[in-house]
Amino acid sequence: VLGWLWVLGFIHPEACAQFTDGMNVAFGKNRVQHRTFEWQVFEQGNFEVHHYREGDQIAGQVTRMLQREADALAPMFGRQLEGPLQVLVFNSQEEFRQSNVGVMLGQDEDSNLGGSARLVGSKMFVYATGDRRSVAWQVREGLAQVLFNQTMYETDWSQAIRSGSVVQSPPWMSDGLARYAARGLDAASQETILDLCRRDAFRQLELASGLDAALLGQAMWSYVADIYGLPTVANVLYMTRVTQSVESGFRLATGSFLQDLALDVQAHHLRQAPEGYAALFPPFQDRKAMRKAGRDLGPSMPMRPVSRLAYTQFLPNPEGNLAAFTTDERGQLRVGTVDLETGARTWHATLGHRLDRLDNELHPRLAWGPEGQLLFFSVDLKGAPHLGMVNLGTGDVELKELFKIDQVLDMACSPDGRYLLMSALQHGQSDLYRYDIVANNHTPLWRDRFDDLQPAFWPGSSTFMFSSNRPDDTLRNDRLDHPYPEALDLYVGDLADNPITLTRWTATPTVDERHPQPLEGWEFLTVTTDDAGARGLGFGWRDSSIVAVDTVVRYRTFTQFRDALSLPVAGEMPVMGKDLTHVMATRGGRTQWTEVAMPDLSSLHAAPSLMQEPSTPLPFPTELPSWEQPWAEDEINFRTYVFEAEREETPDVQATQEDASVAQDHAPLTPKNSRLNFALDKIQTRLNNTFGSNFYQVYNGTVNAQPGLGNASEMRISDVMDDKHIVGGYTIPANLSNTFFRLAYLDLERQVDRILSLERQTTARVDTQSGLLVETATHLLRREWRWAFDEVRSLRWGAAFRFNHDVVQGTDLFSATTPNGTGEQLGLQVAYVHDDTRSPRLNIRHGLRARVWAEMFVDGVATASAAGGELTGPDQGWTFGTIGFDARRYVPLVGPSILALRLAGDWSIGQRKLLHMLGGTDNSLSLQGNANTPVDPDIPFAYQARIAPLR
């Protein structure tokens, strides 16, 4: 690691860098609660599904699928899931980020960022996305992570993953298995895995991190399950736990060394590449060609990419001369436009901060106005969805908050430019909304429990098409939590109708249709996925046939549907046309706007249809009438009469049991109010050589007082949501002096966090004037508040009352008759903190962190009050305070190397000053200072602080 440190430190005591304990200045990110959650719980079997009142439907759907998915995953891990397991369900990903769960984890300071993990201890997170398939993937992935931890760590799994264990599983092993268990080898993952294989990433499997590690692990486990059989997965985990070695676990279960197995996996997936992949993406000739591909956005995109940005989508305007695009840089989103002829780029909006969190599957959605002068985009800010409107003529950008919805999933602008048709979330369910651009209001077209996604208009018409998993075209207006299929079909409606009526255009139970693109002449294109996970483009049109000819000719309409093209890539964010289609695909580690040539669609009209034509009732009877004699209630048909003793009751009983089973599966779930229950969350013991108090050490003539090496223990109890915590701890050195005790209560439920703490510290010293041995007991009562503006910026303030009791140790007659002393101090502190750093590796940071503070303490408050409120001398009392700043910038260089820059300084204010001692290291075994260090005796120092220059 290459590190540089710039420190601004003045020799004059009134201008020194301020630290109470070396480099350990309090920074940190924030959890921001923009709303108050009233939690309820569904209890079913081993699961406790916590949700808030508006999320009953999505929580009910999750509750009904948990046990079924857990049973389905059991053969892969060779064991059943052990409970209890708390599942927290949120109505959207933006609300999921407001959760406090995991806020107190001490292993990683960056865990204070919300929405950075789906599993913390025995708590699992699920958030609604409006797509049942995505929710099912989350449930399976979370359960797979729990089963993996239970398999590797047995009964103490929830504590083992918090405190560390002898079995160290790499990220590719745990995250990859969870991803494979959730979605198998889906098309989107296979596309990126093939690119990783092309880049020879499996040779450096152990160095992979983040999403790449999960994808490489997904490929590894897919190969193991397909080639060696599904039970081999459980065998690998068992042998890894027994041998405490990942290498040995794979070698004993598969017979291959891990590196050889990884290379076999790489070759296997290259052989299994979809047809046409090599033609679309030729193999790299050398590393230069691979690096060149990583600096390209595709042949149709003349813009040169910014290396640190991930380009997530492109959308051409109606004229085809401009394209809007969005980028993502660790959660910071940008919206821009590019000239498709010159490559000139224009940025319009930068949203959010660069932070490490879960990948956001819902990047800002884009929609062009009909004339190509207005660009609309949706984004989530401060816990609420916002609609952005860019006027390309003036360059103005306007953001409007959208009320009564939780998240915008997709949108399209009507051809007349009056409305936006939005697919949006409310209370965890997706529906279509009509947004009036001029009036700035929106209304739902309907409200039901089914997924309604990706609306699109026909050219020049108010008729729209969208994807949905509803069973038919009847609008039931229900919000039940009953299960329904994941596969989507295509439906059509007209925005001019009041009320809206729907027509089902496709009915393909084994094919999933998404991203419909209407064409001229009532034709359309869509992205299809079959049961095997293969992606393709489907082409369809509306047709009609004669049903009957009477006084008028009767017609029926139906959909003709064909396979237009087999996609060698996943086909994400498609822009489809009759002649050319563009999709987002990965090549060389870069997401590119990739061209896909289209076949002659007119020739597909003669191909056989993929969809069975639904039967339509004819206008005339098609069955012959019944000529059997009708029987009255008091008459008996002797030909079919059955005596009572001959009747079979088994079918009726069986039908009754089946009905009862179905009724039980769909029985209404009764929520219970969540009660405040505290449970043990942490017990930690370690060897420590620091003062436990986050306050300055008294300067009594001894430089860098030695606290003493000893035991430091901490215990914490927390509620289920991690909103409230009670923390207790103590530090007892081996010499039984300088002991420290602390008790704190933290309430993090609202946007302003509140902390109340009580500390007691005892120190032993020799008085420099009298030579007496004095033991000082310091009691510090603090009340703190933290107001988070967002995840990286916060304002922190607090009040403190400090009481000292000096006890002279009786060693002779003089010391026995010396009276004890007391002192009290009252202070105020305020600080502004900015922290957007992230930790890609242990002790390595990227980003900026800064703190600006001011504090003032008044000593001898009681004495001054008795004297009429004036401090006339140092014996009656004195004031002490500091004003300072500390800024640190971490710049990544090559590989893990960074350039660390630091600028810090402070000014002592008040009657007494603060003494800084440069040098030393943090948490060292010996803190003894240099006794020969000259300290000016004429300057009234009250406290001292150490500054460790480099870490």
**Domains plus CATH for the chain?**
35-164 (3.40.30), 166-273 (no CATH), 679-947 (2.40.160)
Confidence of residue 944 (pLDDT cuts 50, 70, 90): confident
822 confidence band (pLDDT: 50, 70, 90): confident
Work out the angle between the directed axes of helices 258-271 and 187-198 (0-180°, nearest 10). Answer: 120
| CA dist., res. 97 & res. 116, Å (int) | 8
* Cα angle: 425, vertex 428, 433; to 5 degrees: 25
Mean pLDDT of 48-55: 88
Residues 896-928 pLDDT 10s: 889 999 888 888 888 888 887 776 555 566 656
- Six-digit token string for 935: 């300290």
Structure confidence at residue 544 as a pLDDT band (50, 70, 90):
confident
Place of tokens 């242990």: 842
Q: Which residues pair with 67 in a beta bridge?
A: none
Contact 108, 182 (CB under 8 A): no
Q: How far apart are CA 14 and CA 942, in angstroms?
A: 12
Positive or negative: CA dihedral 425, 427, 429, 431: negative
Q: What is the pLDDT of residue 657?
A: 46
pLDDT of residue 842: 73
* The predicted structure's pLDDT at residue 3: 36
pLDDT at residue 31, as a whole number: 77
List the beta strands (DSSP E) in 550-637.
Answer: 553-566, 572-575, 580-587, 590-597
Across residues 259-270, what is the average pLDDT?
95
Average pLDDT (258-275) is: 94
Return contacts of 814-822, CB within 8 angstroms, 24+ apart. Answer: 814/772, 815/772, 815/773, 818/770, 818/772
Choose the most confident range, by mean pLDDT, from 554-558, 660-664, 700-704, 899-903.
899-903
- Angstrom distance (rounded) from CA 478 to CA 874: 76
Bridge-partner residues for 327, per DSSP?
Answer: 311, 334
pLDDT tens digits for range 441-450: 999 999 998 9
**Which residue is listed with tokens 């215990």?**
715
Residue 808: per-residue pLDDT? 83
Would you list the DSSP string of 236-247? HHHHHHHHT-HH
The side-by-side arrangement of strands in the sheet containing 452-457 is 452-457, 463-468, 489-494, 503-504
Average pLDDT over residues 495-499: 91
Task: Give the Cα separation of 891 and 329 in Å (integer).
Answer: 16
> What's the rounded mean pLDDT across residues 649-671?
54
More confident residue, 920 or 556: 556
Pairwise CA distance, residues 520 & 507, whole Å: 22
pLDDT on residue 18 = 43
Sign of CA dihedral 806, 807, 810, 815: positive
Integer CA distances (angstroms), 745 to 24, 725, 778, in order: 22, 6, 20
Q: What pLDDT, on a 0 to 100 scale, did the predictor assign at position 421?
A: 97
Q: Which tokens go with 910? A: 């008040």
pLDDT of 223 reads 96
| DSSP code for 155 | G
pLDDT of residue 625: 61
SS3 at position 416: coil
Q: How far apart are CA 486 and CA 60, in angstroms?
A: 16
Residue predicted with more confidence, 558 or 480 = 558
Per the listing, tokens 């693109």 go with 517
The per-residue pLDDT for 648 is: 53
Would you state the pLDDT for residue 240?
Answer: 93
Q: How confident is the model at residue 644 (pLDDT cuts 50, 70, 90)?
A: low
Reply yes or no on whether the pLDDT at 769 is more than 80.
no
Instruction: Give tens-digit pLDDT for 274-333.
Output: 999 999 999 998 888 888 888 889 888 999 999 889 999 999 999 989 999 999 988 889
Q: Is 940 exposed, middle or buried (0-12, 13-18, 19+ CB in 10 A)?
A: middle
More confident residue, 15 or 834: 834
Q: 138-152, 246-260, 664-678, 865-879: which has the minimum mean pLDDT?
A: 865-879
pLDDT value of residue 811? 76
pLDDT of residue 651: 43
Residue scoring higher pLDDT (558 or 916): 558
Looking at residue 16, its pLDDT comes to 35
Say whether pLDDT at 812 is over 60.
Answer: yes
Beta-carbon contacts of residue 185 (< 8 Å; ≥ 6 apart)? 193, 218, 219, 222, 533
| Mean pLDDT along residues 639-654 | 57
In 3D space, the residue among 228, 196, 198 whose CA is nearest the CA of residue 215 turns out to be 196
* Residue of higher predicted confidence among 612 and 541: 541
Q: What pLDDT score does 659 carry?
A: 44
Q: pTM of the predicted model, to two decimals?
A: 0.82
Residue 201 pLDDT exceeds 80? yes
> With 80 as the cut, is the pLDDT of residue 693 above it?
no
Residues 6+ apart with CB under 8 A from 779: 758, 759, 760, 802, 803, 804, 805
Pairwise CA distance, residues 501 & 494, whole Å: 7
Report the chain's terminal Cα–Cα distance, integer Å: 11
How does residue 617 score in pLDDT terms, banded at 50, 70 and 90?
low
Backbone angles phi, psi at 869, to 5 degrees: 90, 5
Whether 210 has a pLDDT exceeding 50, the answer reads yes
865-897 per-position pLDDT tens digit: 554 545 445 455 788 899 989 899 999 888 788
Pairing of strands 419-426, 407-413: antiparallel
Q: What is the pLDDT of residue 749?
A: 85
Q: How far apart are CA 401 and CA 331, in angstroms?
A: 20
Task: Kindly list the strands in the beta sheet with 419-426, ordered across the sheet, starting from the edge strand earlier in the chain.
Answer: 407-413, 419-426, 429-436, 441-444
Provide the pLDDT for residue 12.
Answer: 34
Residue type, 416: D
Of the pLDDT bands very low, low, confident and very high (cuts 50, 70, 90), residue 479 is confident
**Angle (deg, nearest 10), helices 246-254 and 231-243:** 140
Q: Is the pLDDT of residue 147 over 70?
A: yes
What pLDDT was estimated at residue 627? Answer: 59
DSSP state of 278: H
Query: For the chain, how big is the Rg over CA atoms in Å?
Result: 34
Helix axes 171-183, 210-228, angle to 10 degrees: 60
Query: pLDDT tens, 525-542?
Result: 999 999 888 999 999 999
Strand partners, 374: 391
> What's the Cα-to-Cα distance from 809 to each of 294, 363, 550, 771, 819, rounded to whole Å?
72, 68, 117, 11, 10
Q: If we measure between CA atoms, which residue out of 894, 794, 903, 887 comes closest to residue 844?
A: 894
Distance (Å, whole) CA 765 – CA 751: 43
Of 148-162, 178-192, 872-886, where does the model show the most confidence? 178-192
Tokens of 75: 């053969």
Is the pLDDT score of 414 beyond 90? yes
Is the predicted pLDDT of residue 770 greater than 60, yes or no?
A: yes
Identity at 739, one-letter amino acid code: T
**Cis peptide before 84, with omega less than 30 degrees from 0?**
yes
Position 743 confidence tier, pLDDT thresholds 50, 70, 90: very high
Residue 733 confidence (pLDDT): 80
Q: Give yes or no for residue 368 having a pLDDT over 90.
A: yes
Find the mean pLDDT for residues 504-530: 94
Q: What secondary structure letter does DSSP report for 845?
A: E
At 70, the pLDDT band (50, 70, 90 cuts) reads: very high
Whether 666 shows a pLDDT value over 90: the answer reads: no
Percent of the chain with pLDDT over 90: 45
Fill in the amino acid letter for 133.
Answer: R
Task: Provide the b/e sequence for 798-809 (b: ≥16 CB within 10 Å).
Answer: bebebebebebe
- The whole-number pLDDT of residue 805 equals 87
Task: Select the more confidently predicted residue: 620 or 83.
Answer: 83
User: Of 31-45, 57-71, 620-634, 646-660, where does mean pLDDT reach its minimum?
Assistant: 646-660
Residue 703 above 70 pLDDT? no
Express each pLDDT in 337-361 by its tens digit: 999 999 999 999 998 888 776 666 6
The DSSP call for residue 282 is P
At CA 487, angle to CA 485 and CA 490, rounded to 5?
A: 115
Angle 877-882-887 from CA coordinates, rounded to 5° = 165
Weakest mean pLDDT among 108-122, 633-647, 670-684, 917-931: 108-122
On the question of pLDDT at 109 being above 60, the answer is no
Return the closest-CA partner of residue 136 out of 91, 74, 87, 69.
Answer: 69
